[in-house]
Structure 1
Amino acid sequence: MAVSKRTIMALKSYQNQAEVLVKNYLLADPFIPYTSILGSVFFCKMLYDLSQLVSTLYFRSYNALTKIQRIEWNNRAISTFHAIFISSLSLYFVFWSDLFSDEHSGILVTIRSSQLSTFSLGVSVGYFIADLGMIFWLYPSLGGIEYIVHHSLSAIAVAYAMFTGEGQLYTFMVLISEVTTPEINMRWYLDVAGLKRSNAYLINGVVIFFAWLVARILLFVYMFYHVYLHYDQVIHMHTFGYLLVFAVPVALGTMNLIWFAKIIKGLKKTLAKKP
């Protein structure tokens, strides 16, 4: 019994030490950006390995893929998880959280941040770093120059907002566009699984059309309208942050319009094949 009590006391001691470590270091304000980025990169690697294991055991079509297709399969599993995580939190911060509410008129909306918002952005930075690494390593198998430009601009803008605390609201508005990523990935999965002529593929195309229209076209219009209404606050941002508020959304918005035209073209082609 004495040994058991000593063991319990030792476990509680280790638990207390771990809690102190997490509270005072890993989740302390100065360390949140770095721990969230490193943790995200590590988690991406873990998700890749988990996807590989689960897919090998439970998806027969996975084992029939080429090596590069299996790599992309696992890579898309990571991007899907990240998209669900960051788009959910972005929607929360933009539309439901009090952090960026106009009622808090005492602090400029362009410099508001919290531990959770900073941590969330760090997770995205870690993902973009990990994904860029894979894109460069296997270039151009996982994406061409447009993916490099998109990820690089996103990583720079998100990292700036995370480290400085400036423009986090507009960063989250742009990150809501990640809500379209799971549908895009599902379309790829259906394609490699030989289900390109299925009803699921058609429904997926329709969902992508509406999701893209709302999250990557209309929402960008809303963002610029919000900037216009709060320009008296935006003008007080540092020069680099001020430029990012305009340059990055314009560049990404232009790319979104180009991709949207391709989505419309693909949807028309799919609908034309249906009886």
Structure 2
Amino acid sequence: MLVSEQATMEINSYQSQAGSLLKEYVLADPFIPYTSIIGGILACKMVYDLSQVISANYFKGYATLSRIQRIEWNNRALSTIHAIFITIISLNFVFWSDLYSDNQFDGLITLRSSLLSTFVLGVSVGYFLVDLGMIFWCYPALGGFEFVIHHLLSIVAVAYSMLTGEGQLYTYMVLISETTTPGINLRWYLDTIGMKRSKAYLINGVAMFFAWLVARIILFVYLFYHVYLHYDQIKQLHSFGLFLVSVVPLLLTVMNLMWFWKLFKGLKKILAKTH
């Protein structure tokens, strides 16, 4: 009985020390940007390794893939997990949280942030750094020049918002567009395993079209409208922050429209073959 009580006390002591360490160093305000980026990178490594193990054991066709296909398979699993994670968090911050609500009177909406919002942005920076590194490592197998530009813009914009706290609301609005990533990855998986002519491939294509329309076209229109309504606050940002809020979404919109046109032509071709 005494041994059991002693073990319990030791466990509680370790938990208390770990909690203090986490609070005073890992999650302390000055360290959050750096610990969150490192945490994001480590999480990416963990997901990538888990994808390798799970795919090798549960997908028969995985072993028949080429080396670069296996890398892309695991890379897409990683991007899917990040997309699901950041979409859920972004939707919560933009539409349901009080942090960026107009009904709150805690200063300018463009300068609001929290420990959680900053930490999540750091995790996302970690992911984009890992993914950009893999794009360079396997260039151009995992994406061409447009993907490099997209990731560089994302890293600069998200990192600036994380470090300064400026424009986090608009950063999260843009990150909602990651909701289209799982559909894109599923399309690649279906194509790779020989299901390009399946009904699942067609359904996924239609879902991708509407998801892209909502998350990368209509949502950006809403973003620009929100910027217009709050421009009196936005113009008080530093020059670089003003540039990121005004110009980066515009550049991403142009890229989104180009990709949307390709998606539309591809879906049109598939529907024509189906009929």
Q: TM-score range by the shorter chain?
A: over 0.9
Question: Deviation of residue 77 (structure 1)?
Answer: 0.4
SS at match of 2:240: helix
Deviation by residue 1:92-129 (Cα, 9 ceiling, x = unmatched): 11111111111123410000001111111111100000
TM-score between the two structures when normalised by the length of structure 2: 0.98
| Identical columns (%) | 67
SS at match of 1:101: coil
| Structure 1 CA distance for aligned equivalents of residues 132 and 106 of structure 2 | 39
Q: What is the one-letter code of the residue matched to 2:268?
A: K
Question: Deviation of residue 138 (structure 1)?
Answer: 1.1
Q: Is 1:176 aligned to 2:170, yes or no?
A: no
| Structure 1 CA distance for aligned equivalents of residues 105 and 173 of structure 2 | 20
Q: What is the one-letter code of the residue matched to 2:36?
A: S
Deviation by residue 1:229-249 (Cα, 9 ceiling, x = unmatched): 000000000000000001110
| Structure 2 CA distance for aligned equivalents of residues 59 and 18 of structure 1 | 39
- Tell me the residue number matched to 1:214: 214
In structure 2, list runs of 5 or more residues that go unmatched. none
SS at match of 1:31: helix
Deviation by residue 1:28-84 (Cα, 9 ceiling, x = unmatched): 111111111101100101110100000000001211111100000000000000000
SS at match of 2:213: helix
1:195-214 pair list within 5 angstroms:
195-214=195-214
Deviation by residue 1:3-35 (Cα, 9 ceiling, x = unmatched): 433332222211110010111111111111111
- Tell me the residue number matched to 2:194: 194
Q: What is the one-letter code of the residue matched to 1:209?
A: F
1:84-103 pair list within 5 angstroms:
84-103=84-103
- Tell me the residue number matched to 2:108: 108
TM-score between the two structures when normalised by the length of structure 1: 0.98
- Tell me the residue number matched to 2:255: 255
| Structure 2 CA distance for aligned equivalents of residues 109 and 7 of structure 1 | 49
| Structure 1 CA distance for aligned equivalents of residues 42 and 104 of structure 2 | 36
- Tell me the residue number matched to 2:138: 138
- Tell me the residue number matched to 1:232: 232
- Tell me the residue number matched to 2:154: 154
| Structure 2 CA distance for aligned equivalents of residues 109 and 96 of structure 1 | 15
Q: What is the one-letter code of the residue matched to 1:112?
A: R
Q: What is the one-letter code of the residue matched to 1:31?
A: F
1:25-104 pair list within 5 angstroms:
25-104=25-104
Deviation by residue 1:205-234 (Cα, 9 ceiling, x = unmatched): 000000000100011011010000000000
- Tell me the residue number matched to 1:4: 4
Q: Is 1:244 aligned to 2:211, yes or no?
A: no
Deviation by residue 1:158-214 (Cα, 9 ceiling, x = unmatched): 000000000000000000000000000000000001000000000000000000001
Q: What is the one-letter code of the residue matched to 2:222?
A: Y
In structure 1, list runs of 5 or more residues that go unmatched. none
SS at match of 1:47: helix
Question: Deviation of residue 274 (structure 1)?
Answer: 0.6
| Structure 2 CA distance for aligned equivalents of residues 175 and 205 of structure 1 | 21
| Structure 2 CA distance for aligned equivalents of residues 133 and 18 of structure 1 | 32
> Which has the higher mean CA deviation after the structures are superposed, 28-37 or 234-243?
28-37
| Structure 1 CA distance for aligned equivalents of residues 66 and 136 of structure 2 | 19
Q: What is the one-letter code of the residue matched to 1:210?
A: F
| Structure 1 CA distance for aligned equivalents of residues 38 and 176 of structure 2 | 23
